[in-house]
Amino acid sequence: MNVPQLKSLLKLQKNDLTLIQLKKEAQSVPERQAQIKKNAQSARDQATAAQDAVKACESAIKQIELEVETAKEQINKYKTQQMQARTNEEYKAFEKEIANAGEKIGELEDKELLEMTRLDEVKADLVKAREVEAAAEAQVATEIQELEERLNVIRSTFAEVKEGREDLVAEIDKEISDRYMQLLNKKQDAVVVPIRQDSCNGCHMKLTPQTLHDAHSQQKWTNCNFCGRYLYDDGE
Ligand SMILES: [Zn+2]
């Protein structure tokens, strides 16, 4: 174990962990953008559905009003015919038809009242759906852009951090840096870790006396028997 090399290795690890973090964040951006767009689409769909419900309700009311109009015309027709009735039976028959039509109008008007109440409800739903839609559209406009800007920051930070990497690698024995890279690729987490309470700070397993002795003596590179991480004694 070579103390200056350990310092370089720790510096390299710090940079590499930053690179891993940045890469993960960059990879999550498209998914986050897609989710924002998906939310906006769903808000648009709900607003359209709410608009359709209002239209359906309005057309139902119009239909009822037409039926009321038709029934009223029918009553007028019956009344004219009733006046021309030749027999008492005929007269009474028209009277019955007029009463039936009047009853139907009453039913239609009750139905219309219900539809009117429903119209108020669906209109209120539409106002809410439009608000949600506007908020979602605003979110698309701002957050997609913010994520795009964040991506640019990530890219430039990534390039900056990566720039000094080769110099650091050159300061470390190839065998050690190769092993370090293998471990890092596998764990995607810290692979050069301190000893804490006689345990590996990576996998938290209790280390053997021999491993502890090797790490404390700093005479050679020491790896955890369990997870293979490089161990170092920082005196804590
Ligand atoms: Zn370990």
- pLDDT per position as a tens digit, 161-219: 999 899 999 999 999 999 999 999 999 999 999 999 999 999 999 999 999 999 998 88
Share of the chain above pLDDT 90, in %: 94
- pLDDT per position as a tens digit, 105-164: 999 999 999 999 999 999 999 999 999 999 999 999 999 999 999 999 999 999 999 998
Q: What is the pLDDT of residue 71?
A: 97
| Count of domains for the chain | 2
Phi, psi of 231 (to 5 degrees): -110, 145
Q: What is the pLDDT of residue 107?
A: 98
Q: What is the mean pLDDT of residues 45-53?
A: 98
148, 33: one domain: yes
Query: CB under 8 Å to 16, separation ≥6 — which residues?
Result: 165, 184
Last residue of a domain, one of 113, 135, 163: 163
200 CA from centroid of ligand 1 (Å): 5
Q: Is residue 203 part of a domain?
A: yes
Query: CB under 8 Å to 166, separation ≥6 — which residues?
Result: none
147, 215: one domain: no
143, 186: one domain: no
19 CA from centroid of ligand 1 (Å): 23
Distances (CA, A) of 189 to 78, 96, 176, 185: 90, 90, 17, 8
104, 220: one domain: no
195 CA from centroid of ligand 1 (Å): 9
Report the CATH number that the domain containing residue 154 is assigned in CATH. Answer: 1.10.287
Position 46 pLDDT exceeds 80: yes
148, 204: one domain: no
Q: Which domain covers residue 197, as residue numbers?
A: 173-232
26 CA from centroid of ligand 1 (Å): 29
- Output the pTM of the full model: 0.71
Q: Is residue 219 part of a domain?
A: yes
76 CA from centroid of ligand 1 (Å): 97
52, 130: one domain: yes
Position 4 pLDDT exceeds 90: no
235 CA from centroid of ligand 1 (Å): 18
Report the 10 Å Cβ neighbour count for 164.
12
CA distance 34 to 153: 20
Is residue 72 very low, low, confident or very high in pLDDT (cuts 50, 70, 90)?
very high
74 CA from centroid of ligand 1 (Å): 93
Is residue 236 very low, low, confident or very high in pLDDT (cuts 50, 70, 90)?
confident
Share of the chain above pLDDT 70, in %: 100
